[in-house]
Structure 1
């Protein structure tokens, strides 16, 4: 399986594009992820949705809104509430994963390889073929 992260933005207005992708591709959703990290002493999160390959392809897109959403489970932000509501509407439960912040990596490509490894090790993405 060849997966690729597709960055939509930092979780401001682009979350609505993610929600629309979820709605229009509801039958293709493999998993939804809430990637939690800490940056400058504050917890932030990314929203990500992995879609099953289209047709007979081996390409799995993972759409991500990267690290722009404050994370506080006791007082969730409006964006976090909207993500959870959209996941529920699509009959998927977002999986919470604690990871390192992207600033630990020199390039986003290295960060995406790291996240892919974490997700694959936890059997949240299909194995390599």
Structure 2
């Protein structure tokens, strides 16, 4: 059996990117494995990343996780970008998993950050193991 390739696909952090992520969720609603809201801190400010993980198509071994990384301030009340994502998930009857993670700025490389997040997700059984 081929091992499962789990990879983050990064979108931007603006409104257009949030709408793109929401549209990906709507179009792929039957493929959604989980949705995530990650929070992280940098210089005493909190930021949110939002993501959806999609199940592989047919017998493909690719497990994509689309993400808008750390562009949303975590404020009370929530920003419009976060509310847009939450409304989309509500419409799809999906409850997002909320996790605190390290901010990507503490990693020397963005790929190391994504390996760290994949490790956190696997350890918490939120995405499938490699095989």
Q: Return the TM-score normalized by structure 1.
A: 0.95
Contact 1:119 1:125 in 2 (8 A): yes
Q: SS state of the match for residue 96, structure 1?
A: strand
Q: Partners in 1 of 2:61 and 2:93 — Cα distance? A: 24
**4+ aligned runs moved over 6 Å, structure 1:** none
Structure 1 residue 127 corresponds to structure 2 residue 129: yes
Structure 1 residue 61 corresponds to structure 2 residue 46: no
Aligned to 2:38: 35
Q: Partners in 1 of 2:14 and 2:106 — Cα distance? A: 20
**Residue ranges of structure 1 left out of the alignment (5+ in a row):** none
Structure 1 residue 82 corresponds to structure 2 residue 67: no
| 1:46-100 Cα deviation digits (max 9, x unpaired) | 001000001110100000001000112x311111111111111122111100000
Q: Partners in 1 of 2:14 and 2:52 — Cα distance? A: 13
Aligned to 1:107: 109
Q: SS state of the match for residue 118, structure 2?
A: helix
**1:8-27 pair list within 5 angstroms:** 8-27=11-30
Q: Partners in 1 of 2:65 and 2:88 — Cα distance? A: 16
The farther-off stretch of 77-86 and 117-126 is 77-86
Q: SS state of the match for residue 93, structure 1?
A: coil
The offset of 1:11, in angstroms, is: 4.2
Task: Count matched residues.
Answer: 128
